[in-house]
Amino acid sequence: MNELKPWYAVATPHKDIREGRLDEAVFAANIWAVVQGTAPHVYLNPEEFYRKTYMTSGLKTVLKRVAAGLQPDGESGDRIVSLQTAFGGGKTHILVALWHLAKHADVLKRSPDGAELRNVLGERLPEEPCNVAVFTNQTCDATQGRTTPEGVHTHTLWGELAVQLGGKELYEKVRANDEAHRVPQGLFIDVLRTAAPCLILLDELADYCVGAAAVPVGETTLADQTISFVQQLTEAVQQVPGAMMVATLPASRYEVTQSEKGQEIFTTLERRFQRLGADIKPVADDEIYDVVRARLFESITPPELPDYPQQVAKIYQEMYVSHAGEVPTESTKQDYRERIARAYPFHPLLIDALYTRWGSHPDFQRTRGVLRLLASVVGDLWGRRNSNTQTQHLIQPSHLRWSIDALQAQLTRLWGIAYQSVAAADVIEDRSNAGVFDLERGGDYLREGIARGLAAAILLGSFGGQGERAGFSTKELKLAGSRYGVNWGYLDGAIMELENRCFYLHSALAGSLGKRYWFGTKPTLNKLVVQYRQQSANEDFAEEILEDLRTAAKKQPTGEATWRVIVDPGADLPEQKSLTLLILPPSLAWDDSGGDNTEVRERVLEISSRCGGKDRLYRNTLVFLAGTSRGLSRLRKAYRERTALEAIRADYWNQLDEEQRRDLKERLEKAAAATEESLGTAYTVALRVSGDDVKTCVLSDAQRTFSQHLAYLWRTLVEDEEWILRRVGLLTLEETGLVLKEGGIRLKDAIEAFLRFTDKPMIASKRAVIEGLTQACADGIIGIGRGASLSNLQKRYCNERVALDPTEEGVWIIPPFTPEPAPEVVSGGEIRRGDDTGTETSPEPAGPGAATKRTVKRIVIRGAVPIENYTELFRCFVNPAARMNLKNLHLGIDFEMELAEDQSLDPENATLKAMREAARQLGLYFEMEE
The helix (H) or strand (E) run that includes residue 877 is: helix 870-877
Inter-residue contact 458 to 555 (CB < 8 Å): no
End-to-end CA distance of the chain: 106
Question: What is the spatial distance between Cα 712 and Cα 721, in angstroms, rounded to a whole number?
Answer: 12
Is the pLDDT assigned to residue 886 strictly greater than 70?
Answer: no
Question: What is the spatial distance between Cα 405 and Cα 929, in angstroms, rounded to a whole number?
Answer: 103
Residue 352, Cα to own-chain centre: how many angstroms?
Answer: 27
Is the pLDDT assigned to residue 784 strictly greater than 70?
Answer: yes
Is the pLDDT assigned to residue 619 strictly greater than 60?
Answer: yes
Three-state DSSP at 845 gives strand
Type of residue at 32: W
Query: What is the structure's pLDDT at 607?
Result: 95
Three-state DSSP at 581 gives strand
pLDDT digits (tens, 9 = 90+) for 171-222: 999 999 999 999 999 899 999 999 999 999 998 888 888 889 899 999 999 9
Q: Which residues pair with 621 in a beta bridge?
A: none
Can you say whether the dihedral through the CA atoms of 416, 417, 420, 426 is positive or negative?
negative
More confident residue, 290 or 464: 290
**Taking the CB of residue 330, how many other CB atoms lie within 10 A of it?**
11
- Residues of the chain with pLDDT > 70, as a percent, come to 83
Question: What is the spatial distance between Cα 680 and Cα 709, in angstroms, rounded to a whole number?
Answer: 6
pLDDT digits (tens, 9 = 90+) for 688-715: 999 989 999 999 888 888 989 999 999 9
One DSSP character per residue, 464-475 reads S--GGGSSEEHH
Q: What is the DSSP letter of 227?
A: H
What is the biggest distance separating any 2 CA atoms in the chain, rounded to whole angstroms?
172
One DSSP character per residue, 627-644 reads EEHHHHHHHHHHHHHHHH
pTM for this predicted structure: 0.60
Query: What is the structure's pLDDT at 465?
Result: 61
Helices and strands, number each (H, E), in the chain: 36, 34
Average pLDDT over residues 813-834: 64
> Closest by alpha carbon to 393, among 452, 457, 450, 312?
312
Question: What is the spatial distance between Cα 805 and Cα 210, in angstroms, rounded to a whole number?
Answer: 111
Cβ-based neighbours of 736, under 8 Å, separated by 6 or more: 728, 750, 753, 754, 760
pLDDT digits (tens, 9 = 90+) for 70-127: 887 756 567 888 887 644 457 888 999 999 999 999 999 989 999 999 999 887 788 8
Question: What is the spatial distance between Cα 716 and Cα 457, in angstroms, rounded to a whole number?
Answer: 52
Average pLDDT over residues 14-42: 83
One DSSP character per residue, 684-752 reads EEEEEEETTEEEEEE-S---SSHHHHHHHHHHIIIIIS--EESS--HHHHHHTT-S-SSS-EEHHHHHH
Inter-residue contact 291 to 56 (CB < 8 Å): yes
Type of residue at 424: A
Inter-residue contact 595 to 650 (CB < 8 Å): no
Output the average pLDDT for the chain.
84
Query: What is the structure's pLDDT at 867?
Result: 46
Residue 274, φ and ψ in degrees, nearest 5: -70, -25
Inter-residue contact 589 to 599 (CB < 8 Å): no
